[in-house]
Every structure is written in C-alpha cells, then in structure tokens.
Amino acid sequence: MKKLYPLIKNRLGLFTVGAITGILSGICTSQVISMIKSGLDSVDNINGTFIFQIIGFSLLATALGIASGYFIARITAIVIRNLTQSLSEKVLKANYEYVESNSERIVPVLTRDITMLSEFINRFPQFLVSTTTVAVTLFLLFKTDWQLTSFFMVAFLLQIIMVASTLPLVRKLTRRSTKFNNFLFRDLASLVSGLKELSLNQRRRNEYISGVITDNLHNWNHSEVKRKVLLESTDRLSDLLVFIFSGLLMFMGVTILPIDFNQFKVILPTILFLIPFTVKIASFFRLRSSAMVSLEQIHQLGIDVDKQKIESSKELSLESEQNEPYLFFEDIEFQYQTSQHEKPISFGPLKISFEKNKITFIVGGNGSGKTTFSKILTGLYQPKHGSIYYQGQQVDQTNLLSYRDLFSAYYADSHVFEHLSHIDADFLEDHAENYINMLEMKSKVEVEDHKFSSTKLSYGQRSRLALIANMLDNKEIYVFDEWAANQDPYFKGIFYHEILPFLKEKGKTVIVISHDEKYFSVADEIIELEEGMTVSETKIVQHELA
C-alpha cells in the first residue's frame, strides 16, 4: 500500500469509508459463520432468533460488501483516470523522436499495465472482507477453545509461509512474462501495419508467423505457464495442507493429544468455511505481485518521459520583423537516435530560407532527407546543431510548442481523428461543407456534432479526409509530404491547381514535398535537396507561375 499511497492520497476519505465498510462486511460474515457454528454446537440454538440473525447478518454483510466495492471502484476510476491522463500528457509533452522510437513500450503501459493496476485496487474490498472474516472467526474460536484453535492456526500460518515464499518467484516470472508480452505487442502491431507486405509475400508471411510471432509467443507462454503452474500448485498444496493437517489432528487426538471430539466436530466445519476466504487472501497477494510489476512499469515510464519533457512556455511573436526571412534554417544538422554499436545516421548541414505566403516545393531523390527535413521544419525533430528562426526569433526549447502550433502537416501515416472539437465552432460551420465539396467527399462524409460522420474509408479517401482536417486547422503554415502520391490524376489536379492556390490566397505559407514534375509550375519556388539533406544556392530555383 505504500507504493499506492501517492495515487490515493487525495481520496483518503473515500478510501477510508470503503475500507471501513469492507471490514464491517467481514465482521458480519464472521457472525454468520459463528451462528452456523452455534447451530452445530447444539440443536437447541436453532430457533426463530437463529434464522433471523442468519438472514440479517447475511444481508448486512452483502450490503456492506457492495458499498465497499462501490467506494473503492470510485477511487479506482479516479486513480486510473488521473494516471492515464497524466501519462498521456507527459507523452504528448515529451520529445517526439523519443516517443516515436519507444511506442512499443509506451502503448502496453497505457493499456495493459494500467488495467492490471485497476484490477488490483478493485480487489481490495474482497481482501478486507476475507481478512476480517478469517481474523474475527479465529478470534471467536480461540475464545471457545484456544488449544484446538491454536492447532488450526498453525495450519493457516503454514499456508501464509507457503504463499509468501513463492511471491518473489511470482514477481520474477511476471516481469519476464511482461517483457515478452511487450515484444509480442510490438510484433502484432507490425503485422497490422505491414499487412500489405506480408499479404504479397508468402515466404515472408510464413517466416514472420513461424519465426517472429511464434518465438515470442513461445517465450511468453513459457513464462506464463510457469507462473500459472506455480500459482495453481500453491493453491492445491494449501488445500492439501489443511486436509492433511485436519486428518493428522484427528489421528493425534485419538492417540496422543487430549482433544474433545465433540468440540472438534463443531470447529472443523467452521475452519472449512474459512478456506475460500484464505484463498481470496492468497489471490490478492499474488495479484499484488503482478500489480507491483505494472506499477514499476508505469512509474519508470513516467520518469523516462519526464526526462524527455519539452520545457516550453514562451509564445512566439506573430509580428513580422523587417528585413528578416519568414523561416530560416541556419546550418541545421540532425542525427537519428541509434544504439551504441550502430553508426549514427546524420543529415545536414542545411542552410535555407522560406518566404511568407509562398508555395515552395521540396524535391530530391531517395536518401535526400525530405521527410526528415519536414519533421525538423515542423518542430517534431529537434536539430543537433544549428538554429531555426521564425521571423527573426530563434526557436528553442522555451518556445518550441508555440512554434509547432504554427503548422498543420500531412504525412503518409497521418492519423485522421474523428473529433473536431478543437476547431472554433463558427469557423467549422462556415468552412467544413465547402472544404468537403472541394475534395468531392460529400457522399462519403459530413461534419456532425463537431466530428466527422465516418473515418472508415479507402486509403485515397482517408488521405482526402486528412487534407480536409488539415485545412480546417486553419494554421499559418501547411506542410504536405507526398499527399498526391496515392491519388489518381483527377484528385492530383484538384490538389495542385485548386487546394494549393486556395491556401495561398488565404494568406497561408505552403511547403510541399513532391515528385510530380508535371505540377512544378504551381510552385513559387522549388528547392532540391541533395543526399544527406544538403542544398546549395545553385539548387534553389525561382519559378514564375505560368
């Protein structure tokens, strides 16, 4: 509970009420067991009062147990909401390149690990009821016959020792299982994203399933089987321990120990009543081992993402500085994050500028770094050396988020969000239908209640919907990375001859990565990148509109 305290400290009142009602439910349950014991002790105790108390305490135990579950469920919902929101905000404020390269680790933490923690917290009322029931019942039995109860308490103590001794191994196997589960999650995500490539290559498809997926499934299953066999073995050994101990106690009572068998016959059923509760207690501690592993993953992700946080609070001035370029890259160099044993992939140095309210085409062969350049341009990637200037203002960590907010960008893997609640309602109402008509999507989608009516479209249609969403963002600068690459000639024509001039007419600055030489006449300027994202003055071509 020490590790969970920071998560629930702001809801201690609610937690206390949940804990108290759980304990009271356990006390009522123990009273029911005590009443049953009294009936077994003497038939004279079975009367109207007996059945009234059985029903009354049973109903009260149920009501209090439900109440405890409700209060703890409310805490769980608050904890999970805050935890998910906090981690999500940290991820969104972290270095994009770090998040991009660690997505296979981040997503499982935000889904599986938080779910595991939620399940553990929700089991707390059950643990309180079971623990209280066992403790109070044993106390009442101890008052009745301390000697005989002490013998059975030895059996319970041995159960506790057995369960406690397996917990370190359970946690170790859980960590191992979690590691291979993360690998499996990564590989299954690759299966979905690489579906086209796998579908078109039988050998690759078979190898991916038999070599990659199956290997990780084997490793994960191996760890899971070990963990589950260990848990099941402990459960069965615990039951066996109680049964054998009861038999030995009966045998020793006949041969060695001075046991009152009439009292034994009354206490034994009561002890057997407690076995399901001891199983629940043991299950709680096992689940705790898994939850603590998940909490470690959540905590470590929070620390790692915090280290990558972009401390940006300053706003860029939108006022244009005289005699200063609109956008200026001064000797920009970039290097991809790689492992210690790999040669770094470097780009640059790049010195280039862009004019406001112009259409600029970025061209170049494979390996020239066009997409990398676009991510540096939009602030997603941060250069290792050199500086970016916006209207004479240097872009750095303090104003990076303000700089990013200048852009709306399209990439081949851009996600189309259904919701549009971030867009001004009046702007959305005035322009959404027009933009949908410009891309001829009226029969496929419309805007209802600040969201697209559908995003389940073909690839080309989804790209057009992404373009509509970009236009609705109403940003100052637009970046399009090969938007027209997967469009037919008709929609390419609409993009180059209608959309780009329309954006320019609205005062926007447009930067397009393109291979479509047929449409180069649309550009005010064409910049050709050379291999490694470099450009010389001779490669900057000024082009007048035809």
What is the per-residue pLDDT across 497-543, written as a single tens digit (0 to 9) for each?
Answer: 999 999 999 999 999 998 888 888 899 999 888 776 666 544 455 54
Spatial separation of the C-alpha atoms in residues 440 and 452, rounded to whole Å = 15
pLDDT at 544: 46
Superfamily for 5-307? ABC transporter type 1, transmembrane domain (1.20.1560.10)
pLDDT greater at residue 217 or residue 467: 467
For the chain, give every domain's residue range: 5-307, 358-366+397-542
**pLDDT confidence tier of residue 224, bands split at 50, 70 and 90:** confident
User: DSSP strand E in 336-456: where?
Assistant: 346-354, 359-363, 385-390, 393-395, 407-410, 447-448, 451-452
**pLDDT confidence tier of residue 321, bands split at 50, 70 and 90:** low
pTM of the predicted model, to two decimals? 0.71
pLDDT greater at residue 77 or residue 2: 77
* Residue type at position 420: L
Average pLDDT, the chain: 83
Please write the tens of the pLDDT for every residue from 381-430: 888 888 999 988 899 888 998 999 999 999 887 888 888 888 888 898 88
Residue 534 main-chain phi, psi, to 5 deg: -125, 160
**pLDDT confidence tier of residue 322, bands split at 50, 70 and 90:** low
pLDDT at 499: 93
Stretch 160-187: mean pLDDT: 80
Pinpoint the alpha helices (H) of 109-213.
114-122, 124-144, 146-193, 195-199, 202-207
On the question of pLDDT at 195 being above 60, the answer is: yes
pLDDT greater at residue 283 or residue 388: 388
Query: Using an 8 Å Cβ cutoff, are 510 and 503 in contact?
Result: yes
- HSE-up (13 A, CA, CB side) for residue 93: 18
- 150 Cβ contact partners less than 8 Å away, ≥ 6 residues apart: 142
Q: What is the largest CA-CA distance in the chain?
A: 112
pLDDT at 488: 87
Spatial separation of the C-alpha atoms in residues 331 and 351, rounded to whole Å = 5
Stretch 446-465: mean pLDDT: 85
On the question of pLDDT at 471 being above 80, the answer is: yes
How many C-beta atoms lie closer than 10 Å to residue 203's C-beta?
7
pLDDT at 2: 64
Tokens standing for 268? 């034994």
- 510 Cβ contact partners less than 8 Å away, ≥ 6 residues apart: 358, 359, 360, 477, 478, 480, 500, 503, 504
Tokens standing for 374? 């676009």
Stretch 479-484: mean pLDDT: 90
Q: What is the CATH number of domain 358-366+397-542?
A: 3.40.50.300
pLDDT at 222: 80
Spatial separation of the C-alpha atoms in residues 535 and 532, rounded to whole Å = 9
pLDDT at 467: 92
pLDDT greater at residue 201 or residue 390: 390
Q: Do domains 5-307 and 358-366+397-542 have the same CATH topology?
A: no
Please write the tens of the pLDDT for every residue from 14-50: 888 999 999 999 999 998 888 888 887 777 788 888 8
Tokens standing for 85? 């929101």
Stretch 345-361: mean pLDDT: 85
